[in-house]
Amino acid sequence: MSSSPSLPPHWVGFLAFSLLRRAPFVGEPLVEYGVPQDWWMPLGLARAAGALGRGLAA
């Protein structure tokens, strides 16, 4: 188990939504890090699933 702080589900959901709509404040760092745009949809869906799972577990 990680000792780093985790984000609340609503923030994870917001980040998923922002990634799926390709908001510049999310997309620009991904481009800088070299993350292929083909990965953005799966990453957004994974974040959304994580937010849903965290919300149900809370």
**Is 15 part of a structural domain of the chain?**
yes
For the chain, the domain total comes to 1
Half-sphere exposure of 46 (CA within 13 A, CB side): 5
Determine, yes or no, domain membership for 3: no
C-alpha 4/C-alpha 28 separation (Å) is 25
Q: Is residue 4 part of a domain?
A: no
Q: Note whether residue 35 is domain-resident.
A: yes
The answer to whether position 48 is within a domain reads yes
Whether 47 is in a domain gets the answer: yes
Q: In terms of pTM, does the model score above 0.85?
A: no
Residue 16's domain spans which residues?
Answer: 9-57
Question: Could you list the pLDDT tens digit for every one of the 58 residues in the chain?
Answer: 454 567 777 788 888 899 999 999 999 999 999 999 999 999 999 988 988 887 777 6
